């Protein structure tokens, strides 16, 4: 019997890359399975995009037309505006062949409505960690059962227990969406939606988050959680227009000694003010380490969801006087970075990151220690998780944030940044040893008989049993 699944990823680059990688894993794991990705166009015309073929064997793509990309849209309202296009695409697919179910991205939960219309089972692809999924369920339970609204903990020193963590979690590391009174109902509603699905595919590994998976298995009101990670798209690293820049960057790395370069990169929305940029430059120069720095100007806080960061027009005006000349032999400043290619390069010894979950998994996969400097989304939780819970990252400042829900933290000092850089660049330190061990576990999980490989097959079997 053939099994056809439809995936609906969020239009963010990281989410689409992860979804495509998962879809490829699935079709490779079972000859009966085929997958169609319904691709919602990005809200940002300047976003890097993939060049999608019509199909790759049993993996097919359905590209939706560009919808209303008005900057007046919030992310949530933009997803809502795509419903008619998604509905039409699912209808067309259903006419061609029977569908076994729909897998919706964690930010596309409103698409459950479309699955219900077609009487199709629905699953969630959760692109962050299992521990953070547990936090979302826990926050919802606190509200529904105890009437505790965690947004009321904003600007407090409160700590509370989270069942997927071994230590008390500080409220100042909650994501801004949970600390915003306006957005808190959305958080609770999304967690309820997760519970309403047939199962949750999570981009994690059993050996990395055993406590979280034990928590899920003991709860009757949580659907099956499948740890099938690490889901990594290691072959797509930008687009053809960046080939020349990529070659230039890798050529520079080829000239550097092994594990001598600290790499700074902060994701598709990561940018900083002029003052913060100067502090970072001071820290890099003081540390004495070679560096590759992906640097962009931050969008104004109120416009963060409307436009991605831009280039600084004149670096000499932004950076400390003489910085470019003094570091010309040991440093390179770039805008775009081929992150996967950089992290796998033997010259790279440490990674200063915004703690996006994809970036964390990529760095662990290549055994590169990280320094945590979160900016938005769930990155503050990820920073706490990596630094305090797992001991797999050094800290720059785990409660830093910069977004249009809560605002902006104070400037991170050169001293904090330098301390984090030195922590990840210590050649024989405990951090590097722990990261290497976890890297091995991530590789083993995807091998035949590994935990994620077995779980992926279990998911396919469960899909077969739920076919309408």
SS (H, E, C) 200-235: EEECCCCCCCHHHHHHHHCCCCCCCEEECCCCCCCC
H or E stretch including 333?
Answer: strand 331-334
Rounded-to-integer distance, Cα 191 and Cα 59, Å: 29
Q: How far apart are CA 110 and CA 196, in angstroms?
A: 12
Catalytic residue among 73, 85, 105, 311: 105
Looking at 15, 289, 354, 385, which residue is catalytic? 15
Phi and psi, residue 103, nearest 5°: -110, 115
**15 among known catalytic residues:** yes
Asked if 329 and 252 count as a contact pair (C-beta separation under 8 A), the reply is no
CA–CA gap between residue 147 and residue 130 (Å, rounded): 24
Residue 98 Cα to chain centre, angstroms: 32
Pair 135, 41: CB distance under 8 Å: no
> 67 near 81, Cβ under 8 Å?
yes
* Total residue length of the chain: 468
Q: Are 149 and 174 in contact (CB under 8 A)?
A: no
DSSP-derived secondary structure letter, 450: S
Q: Partners of 293 in the beta sheet?
A: 264, 333
- Residues involved in catalysis: 15, 105
């Amino acid at each position: 019997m053939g099994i056809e699944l439809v995936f609906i990823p969020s239009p963010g680059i990281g989410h689409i890359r992860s979804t495509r990688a998962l879809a490829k894993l699935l079709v490779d794991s079972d000859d009966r399975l085929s997958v169609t990705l319904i691709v919602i166009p990005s809200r940002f015309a300047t976003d890097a995009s993939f060049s999608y073929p019509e199909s790759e064997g049993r993996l097919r793509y359905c590209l939706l037309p560009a919808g209303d990309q008005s900057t007046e849209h919030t992310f949530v309202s933009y997803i809502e505006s795509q419903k008619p296009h998604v509905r039409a695409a699912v209808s067309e697919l259903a006419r061609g062949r029977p569908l076994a179910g729909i897998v919706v991205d964690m930010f596309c939960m409103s698409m459950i409505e479309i699955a219900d219309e077609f009487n199709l089972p629905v699953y969630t692809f959760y692109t962050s960690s299992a521990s953070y999924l547990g936090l979302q369920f826990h926050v919802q339970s606190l509200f529904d059962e105890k009437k505790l609204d965690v947004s009321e903990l904003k600007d407090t020193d409160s700590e509370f227990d989270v069942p997927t963590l071994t230590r008390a979690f500080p409220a100042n590391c909650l994501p801004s969406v949970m600390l915003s009174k306006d957005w808190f109902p959305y958080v609770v509603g999304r967690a309820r939606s997760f519970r309403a699905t047939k199962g949750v595919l999570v981009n994690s590994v059993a050996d990395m988050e055993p406590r979280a998976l034990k928590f899920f298995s003991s709860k009757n009101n949580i659907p099956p959680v499948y740890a099938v990670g690490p889901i990594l798209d290691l072959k797509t690293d930008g687009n053809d227009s960046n080939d020349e820049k990529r070659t230039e960057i890798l050529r520079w790395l080829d000239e550097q000694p092994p594990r001598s370069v600290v790499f700074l990169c902060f994701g598709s929305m990561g940018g900083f003010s002029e003052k913060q940029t100067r502090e970072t430059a001071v820290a890099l120069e003081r540390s004495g380490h070679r560096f590759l720095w992906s640097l962009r100007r931050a969008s104004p806080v109120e416009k963060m969801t409307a436009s991605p960061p831009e280039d600084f027009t004149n670096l000499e005006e932004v950076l400390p006087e003489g910085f470019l000349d003094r570091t010309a032999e040991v440093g390179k400043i770039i805008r775009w970075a081929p992150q996967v290619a950089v992290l796998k390069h033997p010259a790279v010894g440490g990674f200063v990151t915004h703690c996006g979950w994809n970036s964390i998994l990529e760095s662990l996969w290549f055994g590169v220690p990280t320094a945590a400097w979160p900016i938005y989304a769930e990155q503050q939780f990820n920073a706490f998780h990596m630094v305090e819970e797992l001991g797999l990252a050094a800290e720059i400042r785990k409660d830093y944030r910069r977004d249009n829900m809560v605002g902006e933290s104070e400037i991170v000092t050169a001293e904090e940044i330098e301390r984090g850089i030195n922590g990840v660049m210590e050649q024989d330190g405990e951090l590097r040893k722990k990261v290497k061990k976890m890297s091995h576990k991530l590789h083993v999980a995807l091998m035949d008989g590994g935990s994620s490989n077995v779980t992926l097959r279990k998911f396919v079997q469960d899909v077969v049993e739920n076919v309408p």
